[in-house]
Amino acid sequence: MITRLPLLMFLGMLFFSLSLPFDSVSAEPRCFPEAAPVINHCIDGRLRTFWEEQGGLPVFGYPLSDAYDVPADNGNITVQLFERARLEIHPHLSPPYDVQLGQLGREILVQRSGLAAPEGPREDARCQYFGDTGQSVCGPFLQAWRQYGLELGHEGISEAESLALFGLPLTPARPEVLEDGRSYTVQWFERARFEDHAEQGILFGLLGHQFNGSLPSAEPWQNPIPADPPEPGGFIEVSGSQLTRLGRPLQIKGVNYYPQGLPWTKMWENWDGPQIERELRLARDQLGVNAIRILLPYDAFGGGEVNNKLIQRMREITQIAGDLDMRLIVTLFDFYDGFPEPGTRGERRNFEYLERLIGNFAGDDRILAWDLHNEPDNYNRWANEGRIDQVMTWLVRMADKVRELAPNHLVTVGMAHYQNLWVTAPDGRSVIDISDVVSVHIYNAADAARQLDEIRARTNKPILLQEFGWPSGPPCTVPDYTEWQQAQVYRQTISAAEGRVAGIFAWTLRDYDAGPSMRWDNREEHYGLYRRDDSLKPAAFTFRDYAGPPLPSVTRMPVELTRNPAANRDGEKSAREVAGSPYHVKGWFRRAWEYLGGQGSLGLPLSEAFVRPEDGKVVQYFESAVIELD
């Protein structure tokens, strides 16, 4: 029971903005909890008003992205992708002409097969001929075309209003095999595809999905099994600019991996071997992944201690990878800003850590490489204090030590900024020099090809694109944090990587799913290729098409998979999933929601509590309120 005094104290920590119900206040975003988690985007402002007034679900479908800005001839326009349309706000135009529909039909048709040749007018009273494109619309397709239109203030539904909604016809009605593998009679328009579904009538095609690249093939994709299974064994080796196994070139197709719900140190503290096995098996079967990169916090078990618990968990994940024909890159000093100088006690502790850890896996062919540090050039010693020589000296000495301990494994360093790969230590060696395979992290898709070409100009060693990606959320934060934008980044980055690298590692395999935890939602939770319900995001289908063979190994050290679940110590503040919504209330947000009447007064949550990027405050949206942690 909440007493009055603690509640007053707690209310002082929260700022409430209570709104009227949705039908009175159109400024609130409209979300679609009934379609979650498949649909997790909202509509707001002018786009929401337009969507509701001009046809809603039957005409436009659910939103597939958040609204985002793109450059246009008259300045930026705001765009949002829907299942059947792309809505565009042109701010230089006055209503009702400020919201227009993108020509998805034309764009997809041109990309796929080109426009149909004009067929000339028909002598048929059931048809209407459009001289601009030389196509006719007839029968039930014409009835459907005339049935809908954008409201431009004309009486009834005028031809201009239907044109504004659907555009001109681009093809005659013709049979086509659609995404479900079945044949239908369809007709393409500038902004739509009409489909004759017999007893269901004329339906509007899901062009937004097709434009988004998010539709899987009609049959569930499975990682193809080679006709001749590859010979197991063989360490991954370097041959010029290629990686090889048993003398044959190979391509790495990897992911950076944390289990869902257990990112960062939680992976190691609250270990869940069976969950890891299930998630990595899905990644192999559905995406064809042949390598994973795991990041080991140096202080996970106390000051670089290598105890039996750590060795057990390392053996479990190595066994899982080997059983799935995957290889491992292990990052050794994650979250470590020490970089002690030569001859110090700190360096001796670092060497002891390497000896105890790597000594257990030195002859293990399931290990692809040891990654000395994750983005050392982003840490304080390098980035803020300017002690670059100290960091570089440490990297050189750690590389020499790892190579001494595990001569059959590759050595690499995951650098955040490509130009730092050729910064030299006092002994004249650079990260390129101490690496067997050169690793780089690139999150600027538009510049990826140029960066990779500049690296190639400086080395003939194999290059790994060890991190790349884009967040698809949280909703209601940055407009470009969408699944649509993530898919574009994957297409552009993977296209740049083709022919330039020996492999790629996506960041990351899965969304971390902050909801059930006590973490606040932020962009780091949304880089995954998998949503929290195991469904694939659009970017996953681009990644899936990148080739990478199975990499079977011979080392086997059977161990039992273990669990170490976290104890719930949060009590009345623990995360509570709200019935009828995919979201949770937790911490002070849960206390506020329950005290103020829950769904009856605030409505359902429309988001997780998230960190607002512009000011760092934690907020949560509800149907009738916004709660802000001050």
Helical segments of 95-221, H only: 104-112, 139-147, 159-166, 207-212
Please check whether residue 552 lies inside any domain of the structure. Answer: no
Q: Which residues of the chain fall short of a pLDDT of 50?
A: 1-13, 17-26, 213-220
Distance CA 201, CA 141 (A): 10
**Domain at 267, CATH number:** 3.20.20.80
Strands (E), 68-173: 68-72, 75-81, 86-89, 99-101, 127-130, 135-138
Same domain? For 505 and 596 the reply is: no
- Examine the domain organization and report whether 205 and 267 are in the same domain: no
Residue 406 phi/psi, 5-degree rounding, is -135, 75
CB 413 within 8 A of CB 382: no
Query: What does the block give as tokens for 365?
Result: 């062919």
> Looking at 502, 527, 544, which one is the last position of a domain?
544
Closest CA to 626 of 417, 419, 451, 476: 476
The reply to whether 57 and 75 lie within a common domain is: yes
Give me the long-range contacts of 533-537 (CB less than 8 A, separation at least 24).
533/37, 533/38, 534/282, 535/37, 535/38, 536/216, 536/286, 536/287, 537/214, 537/472, 537/483, 537/486, 537/487
What is the reported pLDDT for 20? Answer: 37
Q: What is the pLDDT of residue 273?
A: 97
Q: Judge residue 453's burial from the number of C-beta atoms within 10 Å of its C-beta, 0-12 exposed, 13-18 middle, 19 or more buried.
A: exposed
Q: Are residues 207 and 69 in the same domain?
A: yes
Angle at 98 between CA 625 and CA 153, to 5 degrees: 100
CA distance 502 to 462: 6
**What are the tens digits of pLDDT across the range 603-619?**
888 889 999 888 889 99
Joined tokens for residue 384 = 């803020």
The residue with tokens 């006690």 is 345
In this prediction, residue 24 carries a pLDDT of 34
Same domain for 355 and 403? yes
- If asked whether residues 280 and 377 sit together in one domain, one would say yes
Give one DSSP letter per residue of 347-400, joined into a string: HHHHHHHHHHHHTTTTT-TTEEEEEEEE-GGGSHHHHTT--HHHHHHHHHHHHH
Distance separating alpha carbons of residues 437 and 502, to the nearest angstrom: 9
Read off the tokens for 15.
């700022």
Residues 257 and 519: their CA atoms lie apart, in Å, by 18
Check whether residue 199 and residue 247 sit in a common domain: no
Structure tokens at 146: 């005339």
Do the domain assignments include residue 474? no
Residues 78, 151 within the same domain: yes
Rg value, the chain, Cα: 28
| Location of structure tokens 């990595």 | 280
Count how many Cα atoms sit within 13 Å of the Cα of residue 321 in the half-sphere of its side chain. Answer: 28
Does 96 share its domain with 159? yes
In a shared domain, residues 456 and 369? yes
**Would you call 17 exposed, middle or buried from its count of C-beta atoms within 10 A (0-12, 13-18, 19+)?**
exposed
Q: Is residue 223 part of a domain?
A: no
Residue 247 in domain: yes
The distance in angstroms from the start CA to the end CA of the chain is 24
Check if the beta carbon of residue 309 is closer than 8 Å to that of residue 270.
Answer: no
- Identify the domain containing residue 490 by its residue range: 243-466+483-511+536-544
Beta bridge partners of 87: 80, 101
Cis peptide upstream of residue 229 (ω within 30 degrees of 0)? no
227 in any annotated domain: no
Write down the pLDDT at residue 70.
77
Distance (Å, whole) CA 316 – CA 615: 41
Report the sign of the C-alpha dihedral through residues 34, 35, 39, 44, in that order: negative
Listed residue (359, 427, 361) closest to 393, CA to CA: 427
Q: What pLDDT does 240 receive?
A: 96
**Structural domains of the chain, count:** 3
Give the number of residues written for the chain.
Answer: 630
Residue 565 lies in a domain: no
The reply to whether 491 and 627 lie within a common domain is no
In a domain, 524, yes or no: no
Cα dihedral 376, 378, 383, 385 sign: negative
Residue 489: the pLDDT is 92
Strands 291-297 and 183-188: unpaired
Do 3 and 124 lie in one domain? The reply is no
Q: Is residue 495 part of a domain?
A: yes
Decide: helix, strand or coil at residue 203: strand
> What integer pLDDT is reported at residue 113 of this predicted model?
62
pLDDT the model gives residue 7: 37
